[in-house]
Amino acid sequence: MAIPLQYNIRNLFARKGSTLLTAVGIGLVSWVFIFTLALAGGFQAALQETGSHENAIVVRNGSTAELTSILPRDVAAAIESQPEIARAPDGTPLVAHELVVVWNLERKNGTSTNVVVRGVTPKSFVLHSKVRLVEGRMFRPGLEEVVVGKLANARIAHLGVGDKIKLAGHAWSVVGVFDAQGTSFDSEIWGDVELFMPVFDRPVYQSVTFRLDDPSHFAAIQKRLESDPRMSVQVKHEDDFYAAQSATLAGLLRGLGLFVTLIMALGAVFGALNTMYAAVGARTREIGTLLALGFSRGAILTSFLIESVLLATLGGLLGCLLVLPVNGITTSTTNFASFSEIAFRFQVTPMMLLSGMIFAAVMGALGGWFPSRNAARRVIVEALRQA
């Protein structure tokens, strides 16, 4: 027969101070665990979701980012004429050739940062389908006007609608703000590519993005373009291209998070061991009584183990609650592939919360195992005689 769960719950309440201290200790470990996952996850999501799987992006062979890529006009034209490219309703191919430069601008707090300035075509807004204008209006081709991503708008000085921003010696009117749903485009400034080329003195494109008429045609067009002797290019799924840029940093963040939390968990398990040993020690007579009443050693072991897991899960729950306010907080780092600032939001997912809870429960089980076994091995007579 099992010892009622009520026994454990009441015991935890009986030692309120000790329960709380241990639970908060374990909760903080879960908190750090989820916190680092949310940081790495948010950064990765910002880049990964920038690309869409139905799009392909072409850059110069050997370039891992648009910044180091060069595609002359004739190469861009040759790409545009490929048959596998989807068509807009008006029959023109869904292709955007874009220019990318990085510009040193001032943050609102006075420090300076590198911002991606992207020359785009009307088709860019079709291909990057997450981008929606949320304030002001679109720039007019041929005029010195730009639209800016919402995170750039929030963090960089002089990027409000109606402001003028100085780029390449010209003053550009900011006429609109777009929302790219947390992707890296949100940290960028967009304008007319045909105007950017002469102004920025860059007679070449950095990338060509197109929509495939059928996803299964990717391999064919990739092979044809990459083996074309007139150009030295590489073709990638757009989502893979951006995901690769996040791999190093996200991996590093996850690695650091895992390293820190695993070691920290060891410390918390030691704490839980202490608490449970003390709990077992203080209840020696109770254990003797339970044994005398006929509860099996297995039942006693299970009961103490449950108590420990319960305590830790309580802590895990606390950690989850404390980490929720972090969700959505914007922070920034540099995408070293593009050498520019990328703002992103902490992303706490239900999966992360669940992992945090499981993590806490495992800590509880580890911390409870030895003391519980110790409890179950007591000898009735000695236990009752003691104390």
Partner 1 sequence: MRYFRLIWANLLRAKRRTFLTVFSIAIALFLFCTLRTVITSFEASLRASEATRLVVRHGASLVFPLPLAYRERLVQVPGITGVSYGNWFGGFYQDPKNQFAQFAMDVPTMFDLFPEVLVPADQIQAFRSERTAAIIGKALAKKYGWKVGDPVPIVGTIYPGDWRFVVRGIYEGKTKDVDESSLFFHWDYLNESMPEGRKNQVGIYWIRVQSPDMAADVSRRVDAMFENSPQPTKTETEKAFQAGFISMIGNVQLLLTIIGSAIVFAIMLVTINTMMMAARERTTEIAVLKTLGYSDGLILRLVGGEALLVSLLGGILGCGLAALVFRESDFTAGGFFPNFRVLPETILAGLLLAVLMGILSGIVPAVTAARLQVASALRKVA
Residues in touch with partner 1 (CB under 8 A): 17-18, 21-22, 24-29, 31-32, 35-36, 39, 60-64, 67-68, 101-104, 111-114, 167-168, 201, 232, 248, 252, 255-256, 260, 263-264, 266-268, 270-271, 273-275, 277-278, 281-282, 331-334, 339, 341
Residue 1 or 263: the one with the smaller Cβ distance to partner 1 is: 263
The least CB distance from residue 138 to partner 1, in Å, is 25
Q: What are the two backbone dihedrals, phi and then psi, of residue 158, each rounded to the nearest 5 degrees? A: 60, 30
Nearer to partner 1, 99 or 127 (CB): 99
CB 146 within 8 A of CB 139: yes
Distance, CA of 1 to CA of 383 (rounded, Å): 21
- In the chain, the amino acid numbered 308 is S
User: Minimum distance between the CB of residue 103 and partner 1, rounded to whole angstroms?
Assistant: 5
143 CB-near residues (< 8 Å, 6+ apart): 173, 192, 195
Residues 262, 56 contacting (CB under 8 angstroms): no
Which residues lie closer than 8 Å to 45 by C-beta, 6 or more apart? 182, 344, 347
> Shortest Cβ distance from residue 58 to partner 1 (Å)?
15
Beta bridge partners of 173: 145, 164
The residue among 2 and 256 lying less far from partner 1, judged by its C-beta, is 256
User: In the complex, what is the shortest distance from the CB of residue 32 to partner 1, in angstroms, rounded to a whole number?
Assistant: 5
Which CB atom, from 43 or from 139, has the smaller least distance to partner 1?
A: 43
Nearer to partner 1, 27 or 191 (CB): 27
Return the number of the residue (176 or 316) whose C-beta is nearest partner 1. Answer: 316
> Distance of alpha carbon 246 from its chain centroid, rounded?
10
Distances (CA, A) of 123 to 137, 337, 381: 16, 25, 85
Least separation in angstroms between residue 352's CB and partner 1 is: 16
Q: Which is nearer to partner 1, 78 or 264 (CB)?
A: 264
Query: Closest separation between CB of residue 67 and partner 1, Å?
Result: 6
Query: If you ran DSSP here, which 8-state letter would residue 217 be given?
Result: G
Smallest distance from partner 1 to CB 285, Å:
13
Nearest to 195 by CA among 114, 261, 106, 99: 99
Q: Which is nearer to partner 1, 60 or 378 (CB)?
A: 60
Q: Cα(37)–Cα(149) distance, rounded to whole angstroms?
A: 26
- Cα 295 to chain centroid, rounded: 49
Q: Which two tokens stand for residue 213?
A: 């008429």
- Residue 102: CB minimum distance to partner 1, A: 5
Give the SS3 label for residue 304. helix
Alpha-carbon distance of 112 to 164, in angstroms, equals 17
